[in-house]
């Protein structure tokens, strides 16, 4: 039996690269993107409750949109950056939660299978994330010139949900905040504490909407 897992869906960003399109509410097949993301977690048996973190101006709208989903426990306001938004979401989960699954609101095509795989791996390892092999050759660039070409076979593009023991993640985010460490994803906060993250197979379709062309 998998430990009690709560999901935190983070949809609080300003979507600065979306050229004025509101990412959270962007229509996909006639429904706002956030609805698709929440539905995937509603349909995943390993997820027991859901908290959605969004911008203050969207609280009413998102609360209304997520009413049909029985697992949604709260819709809360995000913080000044992603780590603070994640922390706000974790605080709104119930005391029963042992594992926290952190999901980008802008990954509406996440499958129940990816959610299930990642939660089960976190149950065993304490920290897990889905990833896919990088297809492009990646260059490390500084000042407009190539300084290194990492071996592509060792590189993977990490997706969400990233799932952690809830106490481990809370401690990691607190440490990153104290030390002012730049965190691009939740795994980096945990890695920063010297903790190993287990990688499971992600899905090419589990893409993140970042620019208008992604829609």
Contact 36, 110 (CB under 8 A): no
> What kind and span of H or E run contains 27?
strand 27-28
* Per-residue confidence band for 182, with pLDDT thresholds at 50, 70 and 90: confident
Mean predicted lDDT score pLDDT of the chain: 95
The model's pTM: 0.95
Q: What percent of the chain has pLDDT over 70?
A: 100
At residue 181 the predicted structure's pLDDT band, cuts being 50, 70 and 90, is confident
The angle, 0 to 180 degrees and rounded to 10, between the axes of the packed helices 166-179 and 82-91 is 140
pLDDT band at 106 (very low <50, low <70, confident <90, very high): very high
Residues 6+ apart with CB under 8 A from 33: 23, 24, 25, 26, 27, 105, 106, 108, 209
- Mean pLDDT computed over 191-195: 91
Q: List the beta bridge partners of residue 45.
A: none
Question: Is the pLDDT confidence value at 19 over 90?
Answer: no
Pair of tokens at residue 84: 């603070």
Token look-up 């190539």 returns: 146
């Amino acid at each position: 039996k998998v430990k009690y897992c709560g999901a935190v869906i983070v949809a609080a960003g300003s979507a600065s690269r979306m050229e004025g399109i509101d990412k959270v509410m962007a229509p996909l097949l006639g429904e706002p993107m956030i609805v698709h993301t929440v539905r995937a977690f509603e349909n995943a048996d390993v997820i027991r409750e859901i908290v959605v973190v969004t911008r203050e101006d969207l609280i009413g709208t998102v609360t209304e949109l997520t009413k049909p989903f029985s697992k949604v426990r709260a819709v809360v306001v995000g913080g000044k950056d992603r780590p603070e938004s994640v922390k706000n979401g974790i605080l709104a989960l119930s005391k029963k939660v042992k594992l926290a699954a952190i999901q980008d609101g802008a990954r509406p095509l996440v499958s129940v299978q990816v959610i299930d795989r990642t939660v089960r791996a976190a149950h065993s390892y304490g920290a897990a994330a889905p990833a896919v092999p990088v297809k492009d050759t990646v260059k490390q660039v500084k000042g407009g010139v190539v300084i290194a070409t990492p071996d592509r076979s060792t590189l993977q593009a990490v997706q969400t949900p990233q799932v952690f023991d809830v106490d481990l993640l809370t401690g990691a985010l607190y440490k990153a905040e104290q030390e002012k460490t730049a965190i691009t994803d939740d795994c980096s906060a945990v890695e920063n504490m010297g903790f190993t993250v287990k990688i499971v197979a992600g899905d090419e379709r589990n893409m993140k909407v970042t620019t208008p062309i992604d829609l």
